[in-house]
Structure 1
Amino acid sequence: MTARPLLDSASPARAPDGLISHAVFRTMSETDAQLERFAWLGDDLAVAIWRRDTEIAETSYNKPGHHTLSYYMGGGYRTERGELPGLYGAPKRLCTLPDWHESSWMVRGPLRFMHVYFLPEHFTRRAVVELDREPRELTLADRTYFEHERIGPLCEGLAAMSWDGPDALLRANEVTHETLSHLLLSQSMPKPQQRVRGGLAPAVRRRLADFIEANLARQISLGMLAELACMSEYHLARMFRISFGMPPSAWVAQRRIEHARRLLKTTSQPLQQIADACGYADLSHFSHRFRDSVGAPPSRYRSALA
């Protein structure tokens, strides 16, 4: 996925133009809610902090088409979901609103909260690596008012950190990706009424994923993968896209970027050594691909996360 350019936080007085398609954000903008802060974090991830202080108001969402993670930062003691009367919010409580969900909320009194907006593929593309599942099998669960020992503190840290400037946005991007990994591990569920057809057998999918991870430093061809799966190149390409959610070339490119991010964060290896370990032809090619994907060159990424 090509990274959205790293932008400074938008003025809280107006809705950012790029969020016109984010239904939850648009719904909030049409209420009495005040937008305190907003930022694109790169990778088409967005975050916003809202404040409401109303005697009573109803807000509804109808299949927004994107996922939302909500984290209550203050108040909410008399706010409840219409489908779950008697269950009230409170600071440090979380809600997950998947792209397909429908809900109505009765808001009473002061409330301050953070929203993280992300696409379904942000959530499920981790499924192969982290859960040994196909992306098409899973979605975010619809959950109201829960606490989590890892997700809560990550949200607290994201809300407290600066979102101004490229380096701050890189750090916020990393925290958000870590949050989404914990969401996948704890809040994923089978897609409603989803019948999985076609695709690769689980053992073949696992074999291909492991082979790619072990050979990122090498040039990986479609023929190599087809031979490993005992399929024709044409058939493998079709089945791979179904089971991995993207073509083989895109999957390999994504895994190389993720491996590079990990090495930049956890080692002091020279950039050329990281480029070699991730299968890039030279340092210039590595820097170009990394910048296109992450939104900043490798050196800037490493210094920002130091």
Structure 2
Amino acid sequence: MPTYKAFENLKHHNAILHDSVALHSGIQLAAWSNNRDNITQYCDHHTLSLYIADGYESYHKTAYGWKNGGGPDRFCLMPKESESSWDIRDDLSFVHLYCTDEHLREIGEKIWDRSPAAFTLDEKTFSQDERITALYRHFLLGSDWHQQANQLTLSTASTLLLTHLIQHYSNVQWRLPGVKGGLAPVVLRRVLDWIEAHLAQPLLLADLAAQAALSEYHFARMFRQSMGLAPHQYVMQRRMAQAKRQIINSDLPLTDIALACGFNSASHFSNRFRAVYGITPSQLRASRP
């Protein structure tokens, strides 16, 4: 896994690290808060900073002095080898996504079957983008990053965010290729059978796409065409259905059922189950005739 200098630098300042996870691709997510801090960042990687709460008194050093403009749902994009200085004068909560040129190139090759000599990203400060806001609020917030059952959600989010950066904030700005129709019935059946057989594992979008011999982008869109659900939504639906069936029809301990359905925390499993069915797993088992 790469070492991200922006992450290490923040650890030596006043910033408080609330959560961090390294995805299987090597991309890292980190949730921070900060107050009354001065930071200069210069890194050999890219950093996407997503403001979650506050940030109104976050100042960026420009050629014309210190300028603010932060707030919830603003974002900053700090490309590789850019230097930026920040004066955090009041509360700020934010999520960072760290990635490298290799991650961008991998996305480019998978989606467009193209790889430029170099990717350069635009530097952005206190910007707004509804798509970025929707992606991180839907996928990243309110989700336990360390639950293996959520790895598909996190890998999907990182792919979508990097795809959006390439489209709108890079030197190439390629248009997304069109995708028409769903998966062929035989391919869809192979994918669904594979999902059913691997519900206990931390599935990634790349795993599912490989079963159809497609890029993650094409697979996700064709799967939605076929099933009416995004892959991560379908997988969670199947995990919940399997859990309900085992709770009703077996005497397996609830912890074992949670593990068999891809959850490595009984409490997270219980909370997710209750959100879907309105009762906890223990309540359902107690209600059996």
Counterpart AA for 1:122: H
Contact 2:107 2:162 in 1 (8 A): no
Deviations 1:205-264 (A, max 9, x none): xxxxxxxxxxxx9xxxxxxxxxxxxxxxxxxxxxxxxxxxxxxxxxx9997453556555
Contact 1:114 1:159 in 2 (8 A): no
Shift of 1:131: 6.5
Residue 76 (structure 1) aligns with: 55
Residue 47 (structure 1) aligns with: 29
Q: 2:56 and 2:126 mapped to 1: Cα distance?
A: 11
Counterparts in 2 of 1:105 and 1:264: CA distance versus 1, 3 Å: same
Q: 2:197 aligned with 1:187, yes or no?
A: no
Q: 2:60 aligned with 1:60, yes or no?
A: no
Find the partner of 1:120 among 101, 113, 129: 101
Contact 1:58 1:106 in 2 (8 A): yes
Find the partner of 1:148 among 126, 129, 132: 129
Counterparts in 2 of 1:145 and 1:124: CA distance versus 1, 3 Å: farther
Query: Bigger relative contact order, structure 1 or 2, given CA contacts below 8 A and separation 6+?
Result: 1
Contact 1:66 1:120 in 2 (8 A): yes
Normalized against structure 1, the TM-score is what?
0.56
Find the partner of 2:226 among 267, 279, 287: 267
Q: 2:137 and 2:90 mapped to 1: Cα distance?
A: 22
Residue 73 (structure 2) aligns with: 92
Deviations 1:107-131 (A, max 9, x none): 1111110001111122234446767
Q: 2:4 aligned with 1:25, yes or no?
A: no
Counterparts in 2 of 1:99 and 1:305: CA distance versus 1, 3 Å: farther
Gaps of 5+ in 2: 173-186, 188-209, 239-289
Contact 1:170 1:304 in 2 (8 A): no
Counterparts in 2 of 1:128 and 1:83: CA distance versus 1, 3 Å: same
What is the root-mean-square deviation in Å for CA atoms of aligned residues? 3.2
Find the partner of 1:163 among 145, 149, 154: 145
Contact 1:124 1:138 in 2 (8 A): yes
Contact 1:80 1:106 in 2 (8 A): yes
Shift of 1:46: 1.3
Q: 2:285 aligned with 1:303, yes or no?
A: no
Counterpart AA for 1:303: V
Counterparts in 2 of 1:260 and 1:173: CA distance versus 1, 3 Å: same
Q: 1:126 and 1:76 mapped to 2: Cα distance?
A: 31
- Percent sequence identity over matched residues? 26
Deviations 1:8-49 (A, max 9, x none): xxxxxxxxxx66x21000011001111111112221111111
Matched position secondary structure for 2:33: strand
